[in-house]
Structure 1
Amino acid sequence: MKPIFILLILSVLFSCKSPDARRPESVQSGSFIKASAERNIKLNKKEHALIQTIIDNNPEEEFIASKSGFWYYYNTKVTQDTITPQFGDIVNFRYDVKDLNENTIYSEDEINTQNYVMDKEEIFTGLREGLKLMKPGEVVTFLFPSQKAYGYYGDTNRIGTNIPLICKVTLNTITQNQ
C-alpha cells in the first residue's frame, strides 16, 4: 500500500505544473516598420523640396503654410468677416487637380460643382482641411504633399501612388447646419 501511496503523491506533485507559454514561431524585430518610416521621411523631404521650388519660383504669390502640412495662396481673398465651414455645414465648391508640373489630372469641368457635408462625407484630407480655411467667394490654390492628397493608394484612376497635387478651389456657398 505504501508504494501506491507514494506513487499517488508523486503523480499529484508533478501533474500540477502550470502550462508553459507558447512561443511564436518567428520573431518580428520591427525592421519593416522602421524601413517604412525611413522611406516615408525621405519621400516627405523630397516632396517638400519640390513644393519649396514652386514657392521660390512664384515670388508674386504670398504662400501660407497651414498647420495641417500643406501650402496655399489666395487667388481671390474675401477680407470682410464672413463664415467659414464648420462640422455639418454644406459647402458648394468647384476645383481642379494638377500635378506639381501643372499638368491637368482632372479639370474643373470634369469634376463639376460639388456639394460636400463638412466632415461627414469622404473627400481627401487636404481638400477637407483646406475648405475649412475658406470663406464664400474665395478662390485658393493649394499645394498638397501626397500624404495630404491621395497618399500611397492614389485614386485608383488617374492619380498614382504618392503624387503631390495642386488644387485650385472656388468656394461658392456655405449652408450652415441648423
Structure 2
Amino acid sequence: MKYKEFIYFIIFVLVSCNEPIPRQPIVRKTSTLMNTSVEYNKTLISREEADFNYLMKKDSLNNYIASDFGFWYKIDSKNTEGYTPKSGDEVIYSNDIYDINYQLIYSADEIGTQKYIVDKQEIVEGLREGLKLMSEGNTVTFLFPSHKVFGYLGDQNKININQPLIYKVQLIKINKKNESN
C-alpha cells in the first residue's frame, strides 16, 4: 500500500513541476472599426465647419473670431471693463440656444439665469471655455460644433445627437473668487 502511495506522490510531483504553458493573447482587429469612426468624425467636423463658414459669410456685417478652443464667436455688445473670469470666480449668465438655422431650441426664460463657478463645476465644454472669453455685461454669440456641446448623446430632450449649436450668452455678473459679496 505504501508503495502505491509513493508512486502516486512521485507522479504528482513530476506533473506539478512542469511550468505552465502561457496562453496566447487573442488578437482582435479593431483597426477597421477605429478607422471607420475616425473617418466619420472627420466628415462630421468638416460638414459642421462648412455650415458655420456659410453662416459667417451670410452674416458679413459681423466679425467672427476663431477661438483657440475650436469654435467661433462674435461680440454682440461689449463692456469696456475687460476683466474676464478666472478659475474659481462665480459667473452669473443667461443664454438662448439655437440650432444651425437659428431656430430657438431653449430660451433664456426657459433655462433661467445660471450660476457657474469657473473650472469647478461641470457644464458643456464650449460654454465653459466661452465664458472665460467674456467680460461682465458682454453679450456674445458662440458657434459651437457638436463635439463642444452635447456631442453624440444630445441632451436627450430637444437637442439631437451630433447637433452643432448657436449660443447667445449674456454675462450678467462676475463674482471674483477673493471678493466677498
TM-score (norm 1): 0.88
- In structure 2, the CA distance between the partners of 1:96 and 1:32, relative to structure 1 (3 Å rule), is same
Cross-structure match for 2:78: 77
Mapped to 1, the partners of 2:126 and 2:176 lie a distance apart of: 21
CA-to-partner distance for each residue in 1:73-122, whole Å, 9 max, x for gaps? Answer: 01002234x31111111000010000010010001110111111111112
Mapped to 1, the partners of 2:99 and 2:35 lie a distance apart of: 29
CA-to-partner distance for each residue in 1:23-63, whole Å, 9 max, x for gaps? Answer: 34552342211211111011000000000000111110100
- The residue type paired with residue 174 of structure 1 is I
Shift of 1:12: 7.5
Mapped to 2, the partners of 1:171 and 1:140 lie a distance apart of: 8
- The residue type paired with residue 33 of structure 1 is M
Q: Aligned pair 1:115/2:108, yes or no?
A: no
Shift of 1:147: 0.4
Shift of 1:22: 1.7
1:36 match: secondary structure: helix
- The residue type paired with residue 125 of structure 1 is E
Cross-structure match for 2:139: 139
Pairing 1:158-177 to 2, within 5 Å after superposition: 158-177=158-177
Mapped to 2, the partners of 1:41 and 1:142 lie a distance apart of: 21
Shift of 1:13: 8.0
Cross-structure match for 1:63: 64
Cross-structure match for 1:94: 94
Let me know the Cα RMSD of the aligned residues.
2.3
2:73 match: secondary structure: strand
1:173 match: secondary structure: strand
Mapped to 1, the partners of 2:21 and 2:37 lie a distance apart of: 35
Mapped to 2, the partners of 1:15 and 1:157 lie a distance apart of: 62
Structure 2 gap ranges (5+): 1-9
Count of residue pairs the alignment pairs up: 173
Mapped to 1, the partners of 2:51 and 2:18 lie a distance apart of: 64
Pairing 1:43-58 to 2, within 5 Å after superposition: 43-58=44-59
Mapped to 1, the partners of 2:124 and 2:153 lie a distance apart of: 12
Mapped to 2, the partners of 1:176 and 1:20 lie a distance apart of: 64
Mapped to 1, the partners of 2:171 and 2:131 lie a distance apart of: 8
Cross-structure match for 1:5: none
